Structure 1
Amino acid sequence: MLTRGHILLEGLPGTAKTRSIKSLASAMNASFSRIQFTPDLLPSDVTGSDVYREVDGKPSLVYQQGPIFNNLVLADEINRAPAKVQAALLEAMGENTVTSGGVTRHLPELFLVMATQNPIEQEGTYPLPEAQMDRFTLKVDIHYPDAEAERAIIRLVRGEEPGAQTSEQVTDTEHAITVTPEHIINGQKALNQVHVSEVAENYIVNLVMATRDTTDYEHAQFSQWLAVGVSPRASIALDRCARAHAWLAGRDYVDPDDILGVIHQVMGHRLVLSYEAIAEQITPKQIVDDILKYVPIG
């Protein structure tokens, strides 16, 4: 949210992807909508459309806003909807506007799309093409929890059941988060005051350029694993996310650790792997790790 970007979560069912954004919206007192993407979904189901109504006995068309007009939007299983619906959502993400009937309408100033997709059920889905994946600032892989976290999940859900004992119950006031949309907007503005040194800036550029021109890294494995490098959106996202990482750590400057802290989530989903990498089942994480070994800081 601080970077004015959007996030794609990929994880198995039941890993609290929906709960996470609903809890965030509740804690912030922000407007929230959930869109369940299905093969028969239409673009107007997302953006809204003109609806026929009679006003004072006269027929008229009134625009009815779709669920996209909220602060936080959950696009659940985005890869289950056809390309037209995906394009409508991604246009709103890129422009922060929705155009219908020749009229352009602005979305809220605080606007975040969290899209989810299931990595194992691919039959009957419409995988996001690389150009659309590039629109997401971050892609985060969600894995199953460990044994201790699993135990905490059981206790948490048990405590939320009607009539649960107070010792097991976790109430909203116990973990109250005093964050409002205005706080986030002020945080977005504060990122402009975070200094990015020439060394950090060069490091970002060199990391991005290494994915495009591998002639200087012919002996590195990643040069054989990449078919297409990342776009300038990766540079922009890496700069913004590194500044947000530094700001959240209480610093007004970016150091290399801030870049390293976000690079996997920023760059991984933007890499286009070669046939050789796919055949060897190389992951984007392995490629980014290899790039970091060869690209010097500064």
Structure 2
Amino acid sequence: MAAATDTQLGDFHALSREIVRSVETVIDGKREAVELALTTVLAEGHLLIEDVPGVGKTMLARALARSIDCTVNRIQFTPDLLPSDITGVSVFNQGERVFEFKPGPVFANIVIGDEINRASPKTQSALLESMEEGQVSVDGTTYPLARPFTVVATQNPVEMEGTYPLPEAQRDRFMVRISMGYPDDAAELAMLQTRELSSPLDALTPVVSLEQLTGMIAMVRGIFVSQAVEQYAVSIAQDTRRDRELRLGASPRATLHLVRAAKARAALDGREFVLPDDIDALAVPVLGHRLIAAARVAGAGSAFQSNSVADIIHRIVAATPVPLGAGDRA
């Protein structure tokens, strides 16, 4: 694919800044979370927002969706939700004596799955085919989903009452996981002063059309990744599979997602090529939710305490040699 011109990169940067500014009218003081959310959409991935209740997970998802002029559906996950409530169902048409497919809410450009781990694992798994293959199979018939297609799911920590951990196969389908964290003093005070009478979501209007978003995604696909940077990403993934503090390492899909997200980050930074710094910055958001730390192991005369997964990733990245001239074109 031809390299992006300076004009195209300039247009891309202007549109991306518009989206970020739009979302930040609703989400105060969370620039990194907003940019990671946009990175996921531009890289054609799926986003998992995980944090305690009340910190703005759903608000971020809704603000991002409203900033783009595309089809949006929201699913509130509950224990009694059925798979067919997500994918759709075949209904018998008595007049024509045939079964007709009634599409579920997954048929949209952006699907917001609120509190996804409130539903049973069976219902959670209804999204597996949709997230990986962009299609839904019902009663032996396959139905393609809209393009682009992104799932933005929120979930409370698994220790919360009435939650079900997401299956590893589904966590692996999310490109990026982010945490909102609590707002700082200034952001929380501003929220108290501006949201007494109305929600800022009410005033939010699209700033980017679906056609423009499609063009931005196409530009991200064309960002150059040198073989050295690809090898760097592969080396990090391979090291997670060999690390003794990890019980489950990164999958090949994780490596692919890491490079795709790095391309989006490079484009957002105004570059037409990926640097090792892009891989470093995205290693935890892309890999962290896929890895499983080993249990604490006690040996004779010594003990090995499992660090947090993020700490392990930072250690692996720091120990992986950075390729020289990685941004140069062949």
The amino acid that maps onto 2:131 is: M
Q: Which residue of 2 aligns with 1:13?
A: 53
1:176-233 deviation digits (Å, cap 9, x = unpaired): 66211212211221123211122212211111111123xxxxxxxxx34211211101
SS at 2:42 equivalent: coil
Question: Does residue 69 in structure 1 map to residue 107 in structure 2?
Answer: yes
Contact 2:105 2:111 in 1 (8 A): yes
The amino acid that maps onto 2:192 is: I
**Normalising to structure 1: TM-score of the pair?**
0.86
For residue 141 of structure 1, the aligned residue among 179, 184, 187 is 179
Give, in whole Å, the separation in 2 of the partners of 1:171 and 1:229. 43
Alignment of 1:14-93 (within 5 A): 14-55=54-95, 58-93=96-131
Identity %: 40
Distance 1:264 1:232, change over 3 A: same
Q: Which residue of 2 aligns with 1:276?
A: 296
Contact 2:220 2:267 in 1 (8 A): yes
Q: Which residue of 1 aligns with 2:266?
A: 246
SS at 1:266 equivalent: helix
Distance 1:177 1:101, change over 3 A: closer
1:109-129 deviation digits (Å, cap 9, x = unpaired): 111101111116534332112
Structure 1 gap ranges (5+): 162-168, 214-222
CA RMSD, 1 decimal? 2.1
Give, in whole Å, the separation in 1 of the partners of 2:61 and 2:162. 26
**Normalising to structure 2: TM-score of the pair?**
0.78
Question: Does residue 289 in structure 1 map to residue 308 in structure 2?
Answer: no
Deviation at 1:53, TM superposition (A): 3.3
Contact 1:53 1:60 in 2 (8 A): yes
The runs of at least 4 aligned residues of structure 1 exceeding 3 Å deviation read 120-124, 169-173
Give the total of aligned pairs.
277
The amino acid that maps onto 1:272 is: I
Contact 1:156 1:170 in 2 (8 A): no
SS at 2:196 equivalent: helix
Alignment of 1:116-135 (within 5 A): 116-119=154-157, 121-135=159-173
Contact 2:63 2:201 in 1 (8 A): no
Q: Which residue of 2 aligns with 1:236?
A: 256
